[in-house]
Amino acid sequence: MTLLDPILATTRQRLRRLPPEAELMRRCQDLPPARDFEAGLAAPGLRVIAEVKRRSPSRGVLAAGLDPVARARQYADGGAAAISVLTEPDHFDGSNDDLIAVRAAVDAPVLRKDFTLDVRQVWEARLIGADAVLLIVAALSLDQLVELHATAISAGLAALVEVHDEDEVTLALTAGARIVGVNNRDLTTFAVDLCVSERLAPTLAGVPVSVAESGILAPEDARRMRAAGFDAVLVGESLVRSGDPASAVRAFSS
């Protein structure tokens, strides 16, 4: 069993409650364009995707009483290029309402951090105001990855395609990923090793935007990822626990 298995099981249960794809598409027809997630990450310097989350399966409760809007505004004040919002309810204590509220409160693009298995989730993400969705290669077949990536583009969203090893990088590139995130966390042991990003960085040389994820706990970790060639870092735990999130974001991007 991996970290993903119980999360994917509850995600599949929630899929039963989603409306048909055609209905979600119809409800998205008159929405304004999404914000440009890719452009925000491709700007000069190391960019920070600052994450809003209360809990994680690997680390337990991080900030039970977190106010997502207040925290997102602090991240934006610190210059975050994008805000990541956990919407998964069963294992991360997130909700769609968190994302809706954050999207209305900040100008930065917003990533819906959830476990996307079905095209309806992509359209749902568009409907609640997300500018990008997360696609985890380890959770998908190649056919699913290709379909979900194409659906995201059709919906006007960016896709952060997450990989853990060389084989998954190949699948991400085959699907046409323009934004690839390397997760430094082993999904079986929960161990985190920044060497994973350093090892995979050369394989992402042709990708427009590369993101290092997990284990970015201090500014020196971010600088290490920048030295390896990454355009951005996704930072969660240390920012959620920080007493001065705006200054922390600035430190990670300096």
Which residues are designated catalytic? 51, 53, 113, 162, 183, 213-214
Output the 3-class SS for 159-216: EEEEECCHHHHHHHHHCCCCEEEEECECCCCCCECCHHHHHHHHHHCCCCEEEEECCC
State the Cα–Cα distance between residues 9 and 110, nearest whole angstrom. Answer: 25
The encoded tokens of residue 179 equal: 């934004």
State the Cα–Cα distance between residues 124 and 168, nearest whole angstrom. Answer: 26
Q: Could you tell me if 211 and 42 are in contact, meaning their C-beta atoms sit under 8 angstroms apart?
A: no
